[in-house]
Amino acid sequence: MSSLLDSILGSMTEDDSLSALSGKTGASKDQLSSLLGSALPQLMGSMTNNASTQDGALSLANALAQHTDTAPVAQQIAEADEEDGGKIIGHILGLNQSNVINQLSGETGMNDQAVTSALSNIAPALLSGISSATGGGKTGPKFDLSDGFDYKDIAAITGKLLGKKKTSSSTNGLDLLNLLGKFVK
């Protein structure tokens, strides 16, 4: 898989991950696979848009620093705090949350409550997946927050991300790696 989005989508649509999510939401694996295929690009796109400002980029980087779980995705989903995940989804989607939930519900045949539950349960794993691309997890973040979060930290994150990036048009510009690269210039 050539992109961060493909990698995260792949890990979230593995059978164990879908089983864990199905157990928490009551939706079928097929519905959830369809949901994730539509929702993850939208969530990544919303994070990209949110991080297009200095405050948004700092907020995203701070969230990534707080989500460094390296457990298997299925375990992260099974253990997800749905309330915390709901807050994450609220921050990511902002005022568009209702519209996105309604659209995803229509596409998948899931009701709004099941879509919201599924997104809330994958949100911490989504941030952890992005965080692992920045050097988080077992190796620890490659930035120093002791002096607060500043552009040096964004540069460190971006350098790590860009070092792993391979050119791919499959994400249609939704890749966060490109966005974070703008803050190093």
Which residues make Cβ contacts (< 8 Å) with residue 174, sequence separation at least 6?
5, 41, 44, 45, 48
Min mean pLDDT across 4-8, 154-158, 162-166 is at: 162-166
Mean pLDDT of the chain: 78
Which residues make Cβ contacts (< 8 Å) with residue 39, sequence separation at least 6?
100, 104, 115, 118, 119
Q: Residue 36: which domain range?
A: 4-182
Which residues make Cβ contacts (< 8 Å) with residue 135, sequence separation at least 6?
141, 142, 156, 157, 160
In this prediction, residue 100 carries a pLDDT of: 97
State what percent of residues in the chain have pLDDT above 70: 70
Token pair listed for 118: 């599924």
Domain count, the chain: 1
In this prediction, residue 59 carries a pLDDT of: 85
Residues 101-128: pLDDT tens digits? Answer: 999 999 999 999 999 999 999 999 999 9
Which residues make Cβ contacts (< 8 Å) with residue 52, sequence separation at least 6?
179, 182
Mean pLDDT, range 128-136, rounded to an integer: 74
Which residues make Cβ contacts (< 8 Å) with residue 100, sequence separation at least 6?
39, 42, 46, 93
In this prediction, residue 45 carries a pLDDT of: 85
Across 56-88, b (16+ Cβ under 10 Å) vs e yields bbbbbbebbbebbbeeebbebbbebebeebbeb
Report yes or no on whether pTM surpasses 0.85: no
Token pair listed for 82: 């749905």
Whether the per-residue pLDDT at 99 is higher than 80: the answer is: yes
Min mean pLDDT across 54-58, 115-119, 129-133, 142-146 is at: 142-146
d(C-alpha 49, C-alpha 179), whole Å:
9
91: amino acid identity, one letter: H
In this prediction, residue 141 carries a pLDDT of: 42
Give CA angle at 5 (9, 150), nearest 5°.
Answer: 130
94: amino acid identity, one letter: G
